[in-house]
Structure 1
């Protein structure tokens, strides 16, 4: 069945369900996204910290080396300077004594590599080195500057000699006459040693070993004095944060993101300048973050995949739960067989409608498939399911924006109708449904007629409770009977009183079945008299019920209640039990061959194990099976002729006789009677009543008796109340009569007394 309308119809439930699951799913997604963002930042920070720690360790190490190299250079210079000072003091003692030999000897004693004497004009006159003799100081030379200065003593930094090209540490002593002595110590070895501590050399080694992008040395004036990148030499550091940290001799680092593609990490480590200055210099190392970022991306990607897998897992759980809940909603609010909204859905829908009632006319129509139980019993549950689906499909054709269809219970459907014009519109709708049902359905290649009843409640402004509306529409169905001219009825308050009476009767029946105290249910027995012998040959057991408040309750009423409340089967067993006990008593009293007839309902005989249940009761009560007669009606045979006849054969095989009750009012033919396993027919009282009002030539009662005899059946006339009826039946060879002319139904003691009186000759006092 197409459920598009129903999908729109249940938007409320779907919307609630979607919100219930989409909100937490969105929250989970946001939480995972935020978690991923934080984890990515954490991972990035972690790897940057590792890079920072590594860079700082390296920078500290080389900063220490640079600091030590400066200290070493300073110490060497101080030692050399001290040596030169000692030499100058010695040369003061040899003032005025100059010769090449003396200078050679003094140089050897003082462990000087070069000892020279310059006159006041700057000519080199004496030396321990022959190759320098005669050299003259030129303008701008360090000696020229010293000669022109007022200083008496001077020690230079290591420099290259202009004559020999060798590195020397020179000292100068000036005499009063303007001449001077130059003494020098060769610095080639020292220079080679200090070169290993040279900052540029150290920076180059660091760059090569540690794969740094750039390494710079910043002096105390914040100028880059050495760098692996020559273009950086001379650059002045102006960043306030960098300047502040260097000044405070604090280590500092930051990520240089000026180029997103080539991010780098820069660390600054303070370097003490040793003994030479009071300022602070620094070592700056710049590392590429390409590899680090690649690692961060890989780890982040792994984390993202892991979180994505977690999200997919949660999504699967949420989706599975959502689908499961949708299935539960389908089970809770929709009928699995027809796909229609069910009773629970109807209640919630009607509650919403009542809460928002805007003056529109509304009504509830309850459609009952009155013969569904019989169809189920005769054709099976699968066939019954097909009938319900076909019925739902037909009713669904009536659905529109003002008519909504619901599956109410097993064999009932509800139409919720609104915006209609008067009760006539509801009558028209009910008749439309009836017209649809007048045509047979084709179920499993079999034509099947559906009998329906429709209860209607118009919902006015006084209604506020959904349960009350449903209750009243259900009550209205109870007012319909097989004799009703119409198959629909509108609810009125009198129906509720009828229902209340029915509920009381139901309690009385249940009390009787439970055998609680004195039973309100008892049997009366109406005798059947033989026309020829004028003796009682049988009794019909008739159920009776009385109540202190309700008084005597009609069998028609309480049997109908038992059928509606599904109590007819246990009630039938109880009646059969009591009748069998009566039959046993008759036999014990010596009245042999007296039959006790019991009426059987259609619901009872349709049970698969009906014959077995009957024989079980016969055995347990100790009754003689041949003393039992079961009465069925013609209408039962329409339900399942073959199945019922099979059960009748089984019962006959156990000597139980069968009588066809109310013969002539149904659809049986004498042809069918020949096939049916019955032993007697009971002519309906309607045929008997006509005997008093019609000419005998116009009656067919005699023909019925004659035809029944021809096929071997006994004939019982019921409802015989006049002598004229009795005479006609006797004249036409009717076998037995039953009616008020002879006796009304009697309680057990009265029935036995009448039997003793009528069948006096057959009464055997010895058995009493």
Structure 2
């Protein structure tokens, strides 16, 4: 097969005139663009100075008002400090200081001893904090000053900005008062510097405006997240220090911007710097206009030379490269791959052929974390690493964002494919250079050997992608071979899911049923109820285990609607039992965590009870012990709502999870179902090693009913009766029964001690 769509072409007969023409137009366009861009920059500088001059008077008024406001605030901090000193040491509790902080409208009150340790505070976790050499508190401790006010700084514990003040009580103790920076801003906001900045943005063509003090602090900004911050950028600091008009280009949130630093003076007094951020597209528009003009000029010149260049254009390979090659890596792209595979599968060959699909599973994470340019650099390195392994005769494609395809022809054995896959993995055991740091890539390889069933590129790519998706079922596995069972597994899941959807929508009323396993009351020797067990029959598959279809229902967000159908069928069975004269039978239903945590779960249950005319006392909801590991309080609250409907609650599989008897006391349940593991131990262990009786006894002590599930032998039954288990369930009593058989079981065992 022909493996390269690009062919060599002799460009010498047209490349020189084309370069001369391009150079001439490019040079003209470049100098024109330079001149236009400079005009735009001059306009920006002039406008920035005019804006600064026009708002100077307003800014000057703000500066005076701001100084007054800050002085008032500092006086307030000192007054508050002295007020705290009047409190008796015995009254300096956290609660009293919290109340005093509210009255004085301050955010922190800390009392220090002579060692610089906080002995009392309105913030409890600050008590015991110890100052250290170099810290502002330590400097005040050693200064001998009676009082002191700091500039705003980050708090050493919380990291939030505060303005702190100190007053010494005596040689042994002193008080520290703190006011949050955001409250300081609220105190000074009435002087409306912020309004001036927002007015500039509203009335001028700028995107953003900031006013920065000579201490590099942002006093006002049209970007709310920058107010109160300190400017860290050394370049911007240098502009502020130089106090002259400066225009500069930079990037902000992925977009090009132009910012102009304009110093603001009142006579000879420096008030601060007005930083105006102009949209970068003003220059871009000029450049686009120039490029368009240059393009038109170029087009005219090309038309003149068209007769000469006509035949060269026909041979130009750029269109082929755009259509069939990836711009980033230079590899053949997905379109090329599909055409190549289409030709491959219809071309007879004596040799064996295969496709390898390589996937970088953590590429998307890297892309989202570090950006698309970073991801592009990673992809280029993936391509280069793979080229070191692959020989020229193997076709190598970039299939999509993070997947690459290798087509192997005339290989001898499957071991040769596995060897190639391992070589590919080996090169990625070394990190790739991400620029800022090295990155390790998680690489997986799916291998598909082409057969007569692969009659199209779509079939090939679907099967190899299917194989790759099966890797998620295996831990620490990086290579997988396609097998026909994978397709069968997908078809099986699709058939089960489709049947479940038809059951939920009501178009299928026969495939989904409930069977009922009797619950035998040991003391009364009678059936007290049944556990409802879901059953699903899928056409072409047969009976599907509950474990399989319940898991699929949860993964496909169908479990809640399926649960409502189970509840409805259980209520129908309760009514059927009542018609037969069995009013007090209890029907137990398994409830998943997804159902229980649904906000409208109990409302839906209540509506179902009303609709079916069933009392909550005829129902019991079973939850598994494992769901209590997380969100215990929330789940317990939900169980309380269930019990308020009259429905009892049972804890299933008890003993296999992490619940303690101490925790069970606070859990809103009525029953525990001892896991079949403990029941099996009755016949598998010596009497003294069996703890089942202890579990029953302890459950009874906290007033819980005990159900033993999985009872299958006479010996188990006798042991459980001997140790006063309340209810038995299992094949020894009865297997799960259809509705008619369940009613027959009740009739046959009524008032008879047959078990």
- TM class by smaller structure: 0.3 to 0.5
TM-score for the superposition, normalised by structure 2: 0.44
- Which structure has the greater CA radius of gyration? 1
TM-score after normalising by structure 1:
0.43
